[in-house]
Amino acid sequence: MTETPRWFTSSYSQNGGACVEVAVNLVGAHGVVPVRDSKDRGGPVLSLAATAFSSFVAGVRDGEFGAG
């Protein structure tokens, strides 16, 4: 990948920093959504297929993973 990910956290992430950051700007060119730990920005990055990330977000919205 040559583009730089533009990281952001959800507007719902007001829980003291225990969240992830995503970079959706790479979906169009590469078909991936990079994900990283917001507390370890220099740490590992998972590059998820855009379709897998979309399915995950839909599952979260539908309550498939419980409340915590």
3-class DSSP state for residue 35? strand
pLDDT reading at 67 higher than 60 = yes
Q: Which long-range contacts does 48-54 make (Cβ < 8 Å, 24+ apart)?
A: 53/22
pLDDT at 68: 60
pLDDT tens for each residue of 23-49: 989 999 899 999 999 889 899 999 999
1 has a pLDDT exceeding 60: no
Domain edges within the chain: 20-61
pTM recorded for the entire structure: 0.77
Tokens for 62? 């539908």
DSSP string, 36-54: EETT-TTS-EEEEEHHHHH
pLDDT at 59: 94
Q: Does residue 55 carry a pLDDT above 90? A: yes
